[in-house]
Amino acid sequence: MTKSNWNVGWPRFLAGLFLICVIFCIFVKYYNHDYMYTNQHTLKGKYEFEGKGLHTGKKVHMMVEPAPKNFGIQFKRSDLGESAPLVEACVDYVSATARGTTLDKQGVTVLTLEHLMGALYGMHIDNALITLDAPEVPILDGSAKPYADAFSKDGLVEQNAPRKYLVLDRKVVCRNEKGSEMVVLPDDHFSIDVMIDYNSKVVGCQYARFETDTDFVKEIAPCRTFVFLHELEPLFKYNLIKGGDLDNALVIVENPVPQEELDRLAGIFNVKRLERVPEGYLSHTSLRFQNECARHKLLDVLGDFSLVGYPIKGKVIAYKSGHSINTTIARELRTLAQKQFRRRWMEQ
Ligand SMILES: [Zn+2]
């Protein structure tokens, strides 16, 4: 080979290498993740959690364990005896959405399941049996972090059955009188964009995004539920958060309040001293992310969308979302999925 051949060959070789790298990166970003989850998954081990229900205040022991393919996610209330039916994590059984999502099947209830369900859905876990000895899933630290940390430590087990995706062929829109709006658009992948606006100086307008390559365990699971200080006292007064304490929520203090008022609250919550930090939150904790509130709302959307019963290929855009609108649109998506699978079955 002459020297001039070398000079012509190198640029071509480098250009080819660059092209291969670009193709590889595109493959990893857009296809590899979905490819990994074309089959169903379950947990590797059994996981136990102890805590109390946010709304009932009842102590609860919860076991999350592996389940066979096509089992889905089902809840067992061990305190009601063997004759009590299992409750499928399905939007058909949603009976209430005030400050949490409640399922009710033939009088067997499961309350505040959205953070646990968000963890299962965000981590692509299709099949699991959840046993509770009380009606409500423990609130723990108000996020999905304890679940995500436990499940991710051991990894998952791939099962010999394909996931059945709901593939949207049209846009689905839902609005409500509170100014909330959700749109789900056809797409090759699942993604969620959440925007929140409480007309609050402290929270401001926040935005959060989840897509197939988002690290759910690190980016979304740790985000805690939140409450405004002015909402807190009435909730306590009307016994709506019997299990609420300052360890399981961010408390937003919109305007400065007199220290005597904060001292009185410290007494109610049994903590030494409370202050309003300059960012506008109560001093018992610090923010895990600047947009922790929007990320938590995203976790709630994941949890409520898991009740569709099928993983979704679609782009979700949520503005001021809440459990009511989440489950309303989840119900519509489930109806679409059932029609789609019936059609596919008839065409076979
Ligand atoms: Zn929540």
User: What pTM, to 2 d.p., does this model score?
Assistant: 0.87
pLDDT, mean over the chain: 89
323 catalytic residue (yes or no): yes
- At 2, list the tokens: 């002459």
When pLDDT is cut at 50, 70 and 90, the band that residue 32 belongs to is: very low
- Whether the CA torsion 4, 5, 8, 14 is positive or negative: it is negative
The b/e string for 254-263 (b: 16+ C-beta within 10 A; e otherwise) is beebeeeebe
Distance CA 256, CA 62 (A): 39
Q: For the segment 292-342, what is each residue's pLDDT rounded down to a tens digit?
A: 999 999 999 999 999 999 999 999 999 999 999 999 999 999 999 999 888
Return d(Cα 255, Cα 232) in angstroms, integer. 14
Q: How far is the CA of 76 from the centre of ligand 1 (A)?
A: 22
CB burial of 180-210 (b: ≥16 within 10 Å; e: otherwise) equals bbbbbeeeeebbbbbbbebeeebbeebebeb
What pLDDT does 1 receive? 47
Distance CA 303, CA 121 (A): 7
The stretch 188-193 carries a mean pLDDT of: 95
Tens digits of per-residue pLDDT, 45-96?
999 999 999 889 899 999 999 999 999 999 999 999 999 999 999 999 999 9
pLDDT tens profile 146-190? 999 999 999 999 999 999 999 999 999 999 998 999 999 999 999
Tokens at 164, concatenated? 């059945």
SS3 284: coil
Between the CA of 322 and the centroid of ligand 1 the distance, in Å, is 9
CA of 59 to the centre of ligand 1 (A): 19
Q: Which domains does the chain have, with CATH numbers?
A: 40-170+293-347 (3.30.230.20)
Active-site residue, selected from the candidate residues 41, 115, 124, 323: 323
Q: How does pLDDT run across 258-306, given as a tens digit for each residue?
A: 888 888 878 777 778 888 877 788 866 789 999 999 999 999 999 999 9
pLDDT (tens digit per residue) in 111-132: 999 999 999 999 999 999 999 9
